[in-house]
Amino acid sequence: MNVQFSGRTLFLAGALCGAGIAFVGFWALGTAAEHVVLRIGLPDLPFHLRLDALSAVFLLLLGVASVGISIFGAGYFRAGQGTAPGLLCLQYHVFLASMGLVLLADDAYAFMFAWEVMALASYFLVTTQHRIAEIRRAGFLYLLIAHVGALAILLCFGILQGGSWALTFDTMRAAHLTPQWATLAFLLALFGFGAKAGLVPLHVWLPEAHPAAPSPVSALMSGVMLKTAVYGILRVSFDLIGTPIWWWGLIALALGLFSALFGVVFAAAQTDMKRLLAYSSIENMGIVYAGLGLALVFAGLGMVSLAALALIAMLYHCLNHAFMKSLLFLGTGAVLHATGQRNLGKLGGLMRYMPWTAWLTLIGALAISSLPPLNGFVSEWLLLQAFLLTDQIPRAFVNMLLPLGAAVVALSAALAAYVMVKFYGVIFLGAPRESSLVNARDCGRLERLGLAWLAAGCVLLGLMPVQVIARLNAVSTLLVGVGLGHHAQHWWLLAPLTQGRASYGPVAFLIVVLAVVLLTVLVVHLFYHRRVRLSVPWSCGFGQLDARMQDTAEGFGQPVRHVFQPFFRMQRELPSPFDRAPKYRVVVTDRIWYALYEPLAGLVLRAANSVAWLQQGRVTTYLLYSFVTLLVLLAVVLA
């Protein structure tokens, strides 16, 4: 199938389907749950589907984000070395559909089916450039961790069915588990969905798979697929188990906070732009899981209105992240196509050559740095408000330790701003670090439209928190029984608790800043003058400035590497003073890889080697095995 057809027609049709899904999700948020039983699949094992508020909000997220990504994809994909465009288009849409099915599934069978299709479709999408060995390796790592996770989820469903062996979610809701079994089920779910969400230490696939995949696929995986893991853990802990135990939340909270800090610290040290964004995804999922942890703690202790606050904060962050991260990934895609570079050290100054991409990406970068009045700030604000209420928890020590979590959230948010200044500044600002960059051309119309859609989402989610929360209330009502009230007199003022306690009005915020800016421009220009002279940048009297004198991506990451040294495993190569061609090199790698995965892989390898002696390669031995097996089975049957 040619690129033009699959691009222009099929991807745009996909965008239309996305809009349809978004509409269904939006509509279903305000209505009662609906069930459907589809007579497909295995005999006697039909697909049960259910659309309730929780599914609806994630469907909405899937739909709205995929509209932007598909429109961008329509202009983006072109014939190349990897998968043929027609096949790629098929994989992409199977991936979208399977994510939709994950959200709708109402029995473990349909869920696992959709979950596996999702994993496989995304695996094939990640390995689009399958001729490159490194990319095949990244894909394999992703597939491996996805399946370890899927196994845990399967076991979790096995516990949840509670002995009835009916795998519909309805029987799981009705089943009564002892606290021990419920805890085991929760931990399995946390592990299984955590593997998909990229929680530390199960995050290792993210920084490998995201750079490998084509940008729209990275956007879809990071923006949408990671959220299916959030959906899963919410579904299991609040809906299927039903009554969470409060200290489960502490585990989720600790994992989330650690992932947030870990992710953002590593993001600051990266030199590959997509790898940087992948680590930033780990950070954001960490923040989401911290919100989940808080919600579990509050819900487990019966503080439902506070649980609603934490839940809405995390759902809001999921929505935000879908827009911001997709926007940033697509921005890197546009840069990649224009320059052929993913390495931050070979980019720079692109704002002058790709103004559309640059300005639209700026919105995403500011939003993800959680700066008001954009959307990232709203969820951070809500989450911090939730943290500020943890001193009311009726458990000694816990109520003292949890407010400190706010410090970690604040630190991650501030570091995220650092990372984004690095990301944006090195790619789009400054002077081009390679001479070929002056030929970079801005992306096409469809790509701009896709970027603009997502940027508009970031702005709207930032400016209309009251309206968004009014919709999200349906979810928290479903899960914890209450929603978040609206305590302000004005439609634009967000006051989740009481207006005296805390309020935030982004619209007024924006209007006043804009008014002051315009007024200042006017006053300065009227009272003084607007003369401008263009000149060369000041070189401190040194002579000619050179693009290589700018800070590099490595240099920009250096303060973070210095401050958070224990996080990293650094290999430095420093030349001797007498070296004729000195080379400086620092390789930053993940300690967890060496501390956890390599020993684990060694263990698996040793175990495999030790059972290898069974494989003698002689037919007689194998016949003996069959005979012994037969005897044992007969003995079992007779006994």
Q: Which of residues 505-534 bind another protein (CB under 8 A)?
A: 505-506, 508-509, 512-514, 516-517, 520-521, 524, 527-529, 531-534
Contact with another protein (CB under 8 A) among 35, 137, 173, 501: 501
From CA 250, how far away is CA 258, in angstroms rounded? 12
Contacts with another protein by CB under 8 A: the residue count is 85
From CA 497, how far away is CA 379, in angstroms rounded? 15
Strand partners, 590: 568
Contact with another protein (CB under 8 A) among 111, 262, 377, 568: 377
Contact with another protein (CB under 8 A) among 32, 540, 619, 639: 540
Contact with another protein (CB under 8 A) among 84, 94, 351, 456: 351
Q: Where are the beta strands (DSSP E) in 306-378?
A: none
Instruction: Name the residue type at position 280.
Output: S
Q: Least separation, in Å, of the C-beta of 325 and another protein?
A: 18
Contact with another protein (CB under 8 A) among 154, 251, 417, 596: 417
Burial of 18 (0-12, 13-18, 19+ CB in 10 A): buried
Nearest to 499 by CA among 486, 483, 485, 487: 487
From CA 62, how far away is CA 319, in angstroms rounded? 9
Q: Least separation, in Å, of the C-beta of 293 and another protein?
A: 18
Strand partners, 105: 49
Q: Least separation, in Å, of the C-beta of 197 and another protein?
A: 24
Nearer to another protein, 114 or 420 (CB): 420
From CA 625, how far away is CA 153, in angstroms rounded? 34
Query: Is 377:307 a contact under the CB 8 Å cutoff?
Result: no
Looking at residue 130, the DSSP 8-state letter turns out to be T
Q: Least separation, in Å, of the C-beta of 338 and another protein?
A: 17
Q: Least separation, in Å, of the C-beta of 548 and another protein?
A: 10
3-state secondary structure 86-125: HHHHHHHHHHHHHHHHHHHECEHHHHHHHHHHHHHHHHHH
Q: Per CB under 8 A, does 438 bind another protein?
A: no
- Element at 588 (helix H, strand E): strand 585-590
Contact with another protein (CB under 8 A) among 165, 538, 578, 613: 538
Q: Per CB under 8 A, does 174 bind another protein?
A: no
What is the distance of C-alpha 28 from the center of its chain?
24
From CA 446, how far away is CA 117, in angstroms rounded? 29
Query: Of 27-35, 195-203, 470-478, 501-509, which segment contacts another protein by CB under 8 A?
Result: 501-509
Q: Per CB under 8 A, does 411 bind another protein?
A: yes
Q: Least separation, in Å, of the C-beta of 80 and another protein?
A: 31
Contact with another protein (CB under 8 A) among 13, 488, 592, 596: 488
Strand partners, 34: 51
Q: Per CB under 8 A, does 430 bind another protein?
A: yes
From CA 639, how far away is CA 632, in angstroms rounded? 10
> According to CB under 8 A, which residues from 28 to 87 bind another protein?
none
What is the distance of C-alpha 66 from the center of its chain?
14
Query: Of 169-177, 296-304, 450-458, 553-561, which segment contacts another protein by CB under 8 A?
Result: 553-561
Query: Of 151-159, 280-288, 345-353, 473-481, which segment contacts another protein by CB under 8 A?
Result: 345-353
Query: Of 132-140, 162-170, 415-423, 462-470, which segment contacts another protein by CB under 8 A?
Result: 415-423
Peptide bond into 201 cis (omega under 30): yes
Q: Least separation, in Å, of the C-beta of 540 and another protein?
A: 7
Contact with another protein (CB under 8 A) among 224, 406, 446, 475: 406
Contact with another protein (CB under 8 A) among 98, 341, 385, 473: 385
Contact with another protein (CB under 8 A) among 28, 159, 368, 415: 415
Q: Where are the beta strands (DSSP E) in 297-449?
A: none
The dihedrals phi and psi of 198, each to the nearest 5 degrees, come to 85, 30
Q: Least separation, in Å, of the C-beta of 358 and another protein?
A: 8
Query: Of 320-328, 346-354, 461-469, 579-587, which segment contacts another protein by CB under 8 A?
Result: 346-354
Instruction: Name the residue type at position 562.
Output: H
Contact with another protein (CB under 8 A) among 46, 82, 86, 372: 372
